[in-house]
Amino acid sequence: MIMKLTQVGKVVGLALMLGACARALQYPEPETLGSDINPNFDFANVKSALDTYRGAVFQVGGEMVRVEFRSDGVRILAKRMMIQQQLQYPWYAPVEMAGAPIDEFFVFYPGHVDGQGLMLGNKFIAAAELVGTEKMDAQPLSFRVRCMHVWKTGQNRIAELPDKFIQLYQALEEDTYCARPT
């Protein structure tokens, strides 16, 4: 009996260790995206005190509405989504919440993102530096991306797609893109 318990203990320990490794490799925690991320991000406050926050790094989340290709990168117009910390995979994810304000913002990624990563409707979170607004204060906020994690959902919600750890078919594709420091 003790031999079986020891073997079960070893299997459980190995499973926990592998699970921890898989968790660490799947999605970078926000701390790895930049230790200077300002945790107090609020669209209304930032817009009203733009000069105070210019250059600050925030974590923003959204859904891709429009994509523009430029010679030095990709500019994305996004509809803001709330970022929710969860106890299971994905640990940080953009979520659609009823009654959430429909703010739009721009993110500029100075690099290459594959075609599926830029499908309209894809959801993402990014560690991004506030650049300002486009033209006037009434225009959307504009950010320069350091790192961006994209769920390749298209027009679907993340919750509508199967979890790749439970259902091995039809996996939800996702990628993390990090810009080289300038």
pLDDT attached to residue 50: 87
Domain membership flag for residue 129: yes
- For residue 153, the 8-state DSSP code is -
Contact 149, 127 (CB under 8 A): no
Tell me the two tokens of residue 142. Answer: 């504009």
| Res 8: pLDDT | 44
pLDDT of residue 25: 35
Instruction: For residues 43 and 6, give the distance between their C-alpha atoms in angstroms, rounded to a whole number.
Output: 54
Using CA atoms, how far residue 129 sits from 25, 45, 106, in Å, is 25, 16, 11
The pLDDT, as a whole number, for residue 72 is: 92
Q: Percent of the chain having pLDDT more than 90? A: 34
Q: In terms of pTM, does the model score above 0.95? A: no
In a domain, 106, yes or no: yes
Summarize pLDDT for 132-175 with one digit per residue, the tens: 876 555 678 999 999 999 988 888 776 665 555 555 545 678 89
CA gap 80, 65 in Å, rounded: 10
Let me know if residue 10 belongs to a domain: no
In a domain, 2, yes or no: no
Task: Mean pLDDT check: name the lowest of 19-23, 89-93, 105-109.
Answer: 19-23
Give the pLDDT of residue 87. 60
116 pLDDT higher than 60: yes
Q: Round the average pLDDT of the chain to a whole number and report it.
A: 75
Domain-embedded: residue 139: yes
Of 87, 62, 39, 34, nearest to 141 by C-alpha is 62
Establish if 135 belongs to a structural domain.
yes
- Provide mean pLDDT across the span 96-108: 77
Supply the pLDDT for residue 161.
59
Token pair of 56 as six digits:
């600050």
Residue 6 lies in a domain: no
Tokens 């592998």 correspond to what residue?
Answer: 18
pLDDT at residue 166, rounded to an integer: 58
Q: Which domain holds residue 127?
A: 28-178
CA–CA–CA angle 43, 115, 165 (5° rounding)? 80
Model confidence at 92, in pLDDT bands (50, 70, 90)? Answer: low
* pLDDT per residue as tens digits for the range 26-60: 334 444 445 688 777 788 888 888 888 999 999 89
- If one counts the domains in the chain, the total is 1
- Output the domain CATH number for residue 120: 2.40.50.140
Please report, as a single letter, which amino acid is at residue 182: T
Length of the chain as a residue count: 182
